[in-house]
Chain A
Amino acid sequence: MVLFTPQMKLQSILIFSVASDIRLFACTILLGMGLQNCNPVFAQQTTVSGVVKDAATGELMIGANVSYGNSPYGAVTNQYGFFSVTLPSNPDSLKISYVGYQPFFLTDLNSQSFPLVVSLSASQTLNEIVVKAPIEEKVAGRITLSIAQIKSIPALLGEADVLKALGLIPGVATGNEGTAGLYVRGGTPDQNLILLDEAPVYNATHLGGFFSVFNPNSLKSVSLYKGAFPARFGGGLSSIIDLTMKDGNKKKFAGEIGLGLLNQNLTLEGPIIKDKASFIVSGRISTLGLSSLIKPKASKMGSGEYFSYRFYDFNAKFNYQLSKTDQLYLSLYNGYDYFKNSEWQNIRGIREGTGTGLSWGNTTATARYSKIISDQLFGRAALIYSNYDSSFKTDFNQYNEEEERLDKFYRNTNTKVRDYTFKLQLEHFPAPWLTLKYGTDVTVHSFRPFRLQSNYQLSGELPKSEPIIGIQTDAYVETSTTLRRFQADVGLRYSVYQVKKSHFQYPEPRVGLSWSLPQNWALRGSYSVMNQYVHLLSNNGLGLSADAWVPSTGKVPPANARQFSLGAYKSFPKANVDISVEMYEKKLKRLIDYPDGLGFSGLLADSWDDKVEKNGLGRVKGLEVMIARKVGKLNGWISYTLSKSERRFENINDTKWFPLKYDRRHNLSITWNFELGTRWRLSSNFVYQTGHAITLPIAAIQIQDQLYPQLVYGDRNNGRLPAYHRLDLGVTRSLVTKRDRQAKLNFGLYNAYNRANPLYYDFGTSGGFNGTPLEFTSTQSSLFPILPYISYSIKF
């Protein structure tokens, strides 16, 4: 007698599922070859298309679900809130839903207008069920974070930060304490392509890297692609971070004021023409008097020192609905940081001053036009401008007692990269199980990495200042196929890049697979090839202005990454809990790095591509686990990553593999919120990371005639700092003012148990005089102790 155990039953279901899905997948291939009569599901079809909006604000909603019955076929609204779904001839109704909103059921589909406009209303119990955890897409490696979640995470000095929030996602490691640079799946921050309304942002940090330039109040959605990259994206080896700005309230005038320790911010939005045109402007400026925190040093002896620092960022977006099917968008971003240090002394009536200044910033602009061409075809075109420049200035001035200038020397070093891009894309929904996207991008890059201005003679060779022009042309096709429980996102991107006399062209295949199994299980897999045509020369990972973007050259060809991932996903609907496990392997080639003994300024020459270490290899592998509870009074997620990221260069460590500096073997974060009634929310964030790799001395020597012994450093990254861990606690109090305005008071503690996380070790000597023995010392430096924060925001 044969007994069927539950496991055997599950196995038999799986076998049948596999057989069925393989048949359907084969059918897809045939369909792709033009055999349309292979469609096994729908004989007669009805297409419904339209846009989904927030009923209260008129904001287009990205990622809203459109479904009917228990069918696996449906649609998700795109970046413009558009959906198109082709249905069996007479479905009962269509369900349009979005987490945190009341679902909308559409009946009598045949009599609906085109395009359909669906307005969703927020749930009455919004405070409890608003999404507070990352939403993973069906396909592996794609995650979306809600702005509400980002704002609810306790943060350094209370500054909600988009990039730091992404650092709590599996597969994403962070760099130095407090910094916003992300190391996604063993990559480096320059391998992240950050897009703000499709415009690339080359330096996304304020305050030397301590927080990002993105103002959460101006954003609608934040998506991270760390694998299974859609073919429409290209240019970032390790990740694509896609940020979409809010459109602006189309119903009524509204605003928000925020007061924080680091900055003050103001957001205004409202209709220009009700339900047709709207705007949003949002800006942040550094706290007035922030500079005075760095106390000026002065003395009565006629000398002094002065520091000043300030930053700002400004977002604006305007949109205008030309007709029911046509819409225009204009997005702007501008943000800069300025730092200056001046020293002066007054001797015998002559006043001499020296100054050092740093500034860096981005400007982006995006003009977009979208059109619903038919019920199955959506088109969009975009003109994009992006500019990043940074400057390092030094000057020397001399004045007499009459304040007449006697002398002036100055030297300015500027680096700049400027992009002009045109994008055209069509989205085609020919069948309920198939979505096609195809398009082309043309980008003209203008690099001016080494521009020098000075009024004194330089004896060395002057860096040239002519811009380097690179032209990148991309074409892509992206298909998304859903066949019962199987979803396949298959795409191909083809890039052609021309710079000076060098010409590169590479195909980039992309595959993302998802297979839904019974009992809310799903299997996922992906394969992606990415190429990156720009390189960052930087003296550190801080995001300071001392960096320069340079194009690939004949000597330093574009870097390449190939990534494979496989994972499983399980959902527990009753508990609102999702668990995902994913492993990945990534191979990188044609990487660059600094040679031993050469710093950033040594690279500031046209011959940089002779000086850097090139043709480096990278290998990364990892396992990611995420447990998330998206909704409920207690919500949040646990993220764990086990990973190893290594590099190999011919002239570093005798061609041996060595760990990437921010290779973190273990990376754990626990982020949760607890809604305490309707007014209070408690939140916490705990991070544990293996200490980053450092280069340690392996011996000491005393050389003839030298005063002090020298340390002999070993192989690059031959040691590690102790583990980094930190707990942040936060409390949010929701308030209603006398004038019935909603306000929020946030306060909490960063590094609540005052862990002295090591930032770096300094090795040196002490003693050696007055009879004391000369001794080696190793000093640990830490950055942030326990730091309380408080911020207040009010909506009107």
Chain B
Amino acid sequence: MSASLNAVRRSIFPADGDTWETIAAREFPNDDPATMAGQLQSWNMHVFMRPGAAAGSPREGNPILPSDVIFLEPPLAG
């Protein structure tokens, strides 16, 4: 049991104003940002499933909060 707890998924805290695309461009500079944005969404269902900010608000449509943990790799295999 202790061995499995040593494996930690790479993650970040978002920068101010971060979107899926800005995180993808910064963390995966050698890959297509649009493709990696889709990957990030699939790796972060806890954020992706959240409703985006209301229309007309500063973060309109963006579900990412500054306090979120954003994983940079898929869920670990069991």
* Bound together: no
B-binding residues in A (CB < 8 A): none
